[in-house]
C-alpha cells in the first residue's frame, strides 16, 4: 500500500460493516426486490462506494418505508468490482392508512462487475464500453430458500454530458421452495445521466422484468436530481412510478453516495 487510510474512512467503513451485521441478523418477511438498472462505472482498486437510499414506496397493496435500499461497491483490481445490494424496510398493512406492521427484507445480491472492453474516440472523446455483472442471490429473508442468481450484460456509452447504460440479462431468485416456485425471468433496463451544469445532473432509469415463472411482470421508471458537492459525495432526490401489480405504484427516495479510499 502506498498510503495510510484516514481515521474518518476507517470509522465510516466500520459503520458500514456494523450495519451489515445488524441487517444479516434480522429476521423479516420475504420481499422480491425491484430491478434497478445500473451503469458501467467501476471503482478503482481500494475504493469503496456506499450508496444508500431512504424513502417511501407504495405498492398495489401495502406501502413500506425503505430503511435503507443500499449498495456497496468495492474495487479490487483494474476492471473488477465486488458489489453487495440489499434492502431493509418496514411494511404497513394491506389495507387502510400506513402504519408500521412488520419488517421486510430482500434477497441480497452478491455480484462481481467486470469491465470487458472500452474504446474512446480521439476526436470527439465519446466512449463505448462493455461489461458483465453477475453473481448469486442469497436467501437472507425469512421465507426464501435456495441460492438464486442474476447475470447482466452491460453496454455503456458516454457522449459529452450524456452517460448511458443498457442492461440485458436473466434472473432466478430464491423462492418459497428450493426446487420450485422460484421467480425466473429476463431483465432489461436503461440507465441515463445528463450533466446539466457543474455539480448538478439529472438521472433517469427504466427497467422491466418479464417472468416465465408466472409471477407478475415488472415495469418501472425513475427520475432524479443529483447534486455532487465534492468528487466523493453525491446527494439525490428520486421519484418513481411503476405498473402494478408487479411493480410499485409510486415512491420517493432520498439518497447519498459516498466514496472511501481504503487503500492505494
Residue 8 has pLDDT above 60, yes or no: no
At residue 33, the pLDDT reads 62
Mean pLDDT of the chain: 88
Whether pLDDT at 214 is above 80: yes
Instruction: Quick: pLDDT tens for 84-138.
Output: 999 999 999 888 888 888 899 889 999 999 999 999 999 999 999 999 999 999 9
**What pLDDT was estimated at residue 130?**
98
pLDDT greater than 60 at residue 19: no
Is the dihedral angle over the CA atoms 197, 74, 149, 128 positive or is it negative? positive
Per-residue pLDDT at 99: 83
- The per-residue pLDDT for range 225-248, each reduced to its tens digit, is 999 999 999 999 999 999 999 999
- Looking at residue 30, its pLDDT comes to 46
Nearest of 30, 32, 28, 65 to residue 247 by alpha carbon: 32
Strands 63-77 and 47-58: antiparallel
pLDDT recorded at residue 15: 45
pLDDT reading at 58 higher than 50: yes
Q: Residue 199 above 50 pLDDT?
A: yes
Q: What is the pLDDT of residues 132-166, one digit of tens each?
A: 999 999 998 778 899 999 999 999 999 999 999 99
Least confident of 2-16, 116-130, 201-215: 2-16
Residue ranges per domain, the chain?
Answer: 7-261
Point out the least confidently predicted range of 104-108, 114-118, 206-210, 218-222: 104-108
Cell numbers 411494511: residue: 91
CATH superfamily of 7-261: monomeric porin ompg (2.40.160.40)
Q: Are 238 and 253 in contact (CB under 8 A)?
A: yes
Q: What is the largest CA-CA distance in the chain?
A: 59
pLDDT at residue 181 in the model: 83
pLDDT band at residue 222 using 50, 70 and 90 as cut-offs: very high
Strands (E), the chain: 29-31, 47-58, 63-77, 80-91, 102-106, 108-120, 127-138, 148-159, 162-172, 184-197, 200-211, 218-230, 233-242, 250-261
Separation between Cα atoms, residue 261 and residue 13, nearest integer Å: 10
pTM summary value? 0.85
Amino acid at each position: 500500500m502506498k498510503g495510510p487510510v484516514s481515521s474518518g474512512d476507517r470509522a465510516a467503513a466500520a459503520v458500514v460493516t456494523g450495519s451489515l451485521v445488524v441487517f444479516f441478523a434480522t429476521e423479516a418477511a420475504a420481499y422480491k426486490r425491484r430491478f434497478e438498472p445500473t451503469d458501467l462505472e467501476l471503482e478503482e482498486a481500494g475504493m469503496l462506494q456506499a450508496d444508500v437510499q431512504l424513502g417511501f414506496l407504495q405498492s398495489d397493496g401495502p406501502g413500506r418505508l425503505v430503511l435503507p435500499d443500499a449498495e456497496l461497491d468495492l474495487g479490487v483490481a483494474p476492471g473488477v468490482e465486488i458489489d453487495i445490494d440489499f434492502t431493509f424496510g418496514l411494511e404497513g398493512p394491506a389495507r387502510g392508512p400506513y402504519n408500521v406492521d412488520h419488517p421486510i427484507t430482500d434477497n441480497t445480491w452478491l455480484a462481481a462487475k467486470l469491465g470487458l472492453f472500452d474504446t474512446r474516440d480521439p476526436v470527439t472523446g465519446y466512449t463505448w464500453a462493455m461489461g458483465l455483472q453477475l453473481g448469486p442471490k442469497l436467501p437472507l429473508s425469512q421465507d426464501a430458500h435456495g441460492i438464486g442468481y442474476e447475470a447482466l450484460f452491460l453496454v455503456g456509452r458516454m457522449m459529452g454530458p450524456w452517460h448511458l447504460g443498457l442492461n440485458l440479462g436473466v434472473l432466478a431468485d430464491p423462492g418459497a421452495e428450493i426446487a420450485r416456485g422460484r421467480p425466473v425471468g429476463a431483465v432489461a433496463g436503461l440507465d441515463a445521466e445528463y450533466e446539466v451544469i457543474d455539480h448538478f445532473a439529472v438521472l433517469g432509469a427504466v427497467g422491466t422484468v418479464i417472468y416465465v415463472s408466472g409471477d407478475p411482470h415488472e415495469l418501472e421508471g425513475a427520475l432524479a436530481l443529483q447534486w455532487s458537492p465534492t468528487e466523493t459525495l453525491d446527494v439525490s432526490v428520486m421519484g418513481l412510478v411503476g405498473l402494478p401489480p408487479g411493480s410499485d405504484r409510486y415512491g420517493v427516495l432520498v439518497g447519498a453516495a459516498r466514496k472511501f479510499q481504503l487503500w492505494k
